[in-house]
Amino acid sequence: MNIVVCVKQVPDTWAEKRLTAGDSTLDRESVDSVMNELDEYAVEEALRLREAHGGEVTVLTMGPERAVETIRKALSMGADKAVHLCDEALHGSCAVQTSYALATVLGTLEWDMVLCGTESTDAGMSVLPAMLAERLGRPQLSSARTVHVEGTTVRIERQTETGHEVVEGSMPVVVSVVEKINEPRYPSFKGIMAAKKKPLTTLTAADAGIAAERVGLAHALSSVVSFADRPPRAGGTIVRHDGDGGVRLAEFLAAQKFI
């Protein structure tokens, strides 16, 4: 079973994120970057499925040159090879365009399953896996907290706001996983050394057959008009509980008309 895992490089979780004044895109230059935390679970699940069912795990990322750091991390966790879609023309693409670009690359690869995280932590919309399923015309098995493969059928437990659903589809499928699914491994020293020798294909948009007028900031289907930092929350009142903390809190809530 061959799996492609889609991973994204994002600013470090703790970094203060900002938009760039010039073109209202995320400032990726001034912050440390990491693999999107939620994609680590997707990589881990791919590795576990490979351990159980054989096949190859390919990492796919679309992002600037430095996103190769994230690719290397996935390879040192144990993925077999990687494809890096990297082109200045892709900068500022909206979600609809990103899904087009990734689906185009996926069209040139062989896979039984595409695995994604549920959301990118930068300005993620949690829409990409569904969009890929739509573009590829394959079953959408999203928000999985478990994934089972039996023959050519993939069955997931989908976490929902009211409980869960059991959903199944026939391969090839598009799956996204939630963070409850596993505990991602840390790359071992051996893994880090091995990663350096693993095949990495870097593609420009043209290499991948992506039409230039369908990607990038200038052609985005939606755009930012303006943005502003929210004023930081004004410092509140902090009291120590000296036997009356509950009463003082009740007074605050009453003054605010909550009770």
Partner 1 sequence: MAEILVLVDHVDGTVTKLTTELLTTARALGEPAAVFCGAGYDVARARLAEYGARTVHIAADPDLDSYLVAPKVEVLAQLLAERSVAAVLIGSTVEGKEVAGRLAVRTGSGLLTDVVDLDADLVAEQPAFGGSTAVRSTVRTGTPIVTMRPNSTTPVPAPETPVEQQLTLALPEAAKGARVVERVRERRSGRPPLAEAAIVVSGGRGVGGAEGFAVVEQLADALGAAVGASRAATDAGWYPHQHQVGQTGVSVSPQLYLAVGISGAIQHRAGMQTSKTIVAVNKDPEAPIFELADFGVVGDLFEVLPQLTAEIEKRKG
Ligand X SMILES: Nc1ncnc2c1ncn2[C@@H]1O[C@H](COP(=O)(O)O)[C@@H](O)[C@H]1O
Ligand Y SMILES: Cc1cc2nc3c(=O)[nH]c(=O)nc-3n(C[C@H](O)[C@H](O)[C@H](O)COP(=O)(O)OP(=O)(O)OC[C@H]3O[C@@H](n4cnc5c(N)ncnc54)[C@H](O)[C@@H]3O)c2cc1C
DSSP state of 92: T
196 binds partner 1 (CB under 8 A): no
239 binds partner 1 (CB under 8 A): yes
Closer CB to partner 1, 43 or 141, in the complex: 141
Distances in whole angstroms, Cα of residue 194 to Cα of each of 58, 189, 198, 228: 15, 9, 7, 45
Burial of 16 (0-12, 13-18, 19+ CB in 10 A): exposed
Find the binder of partner 1 among 20, 25, 126, 202 (CB under 8 A). 126
Nearest CA among 116, 127, 153, 94 for reference residue 6: 116
Interface characters, 142-181, with ligand Y (x: CB under 6 A): -------------------------------------x--
The item of ligand Y, ligand X, partner 1, none sharing an interface with residue 226, based on CB under 5 to 8 Å by kind, is partner 1
5 binds partner 1 (CB under 8 A): no
Count of chain residues binding partner 1 (CB under 8 A): 84
The item of partner 1, ligand X, ligand Y, none sharing an interface with residue 241, based on CB under 5 to 8 Å by kind, is partner 1
Distance CA 113, CA 175 (A): 7
Find the binder of partner 1 among 6, 67, 178, 205 (CB under 8 A). 178
133 three-class SS = helix
Distances in whole angstroms, Cα of residue 144 to Cα of each of 148, 151, 177, 202: 10, 19, 5, 30
Applying CB under 6 A, the residues found at the interface with ligand X are: 6-8, 36, 38-39, 42, 60-63, 98, 102, 116-117, 119-120, 124-129
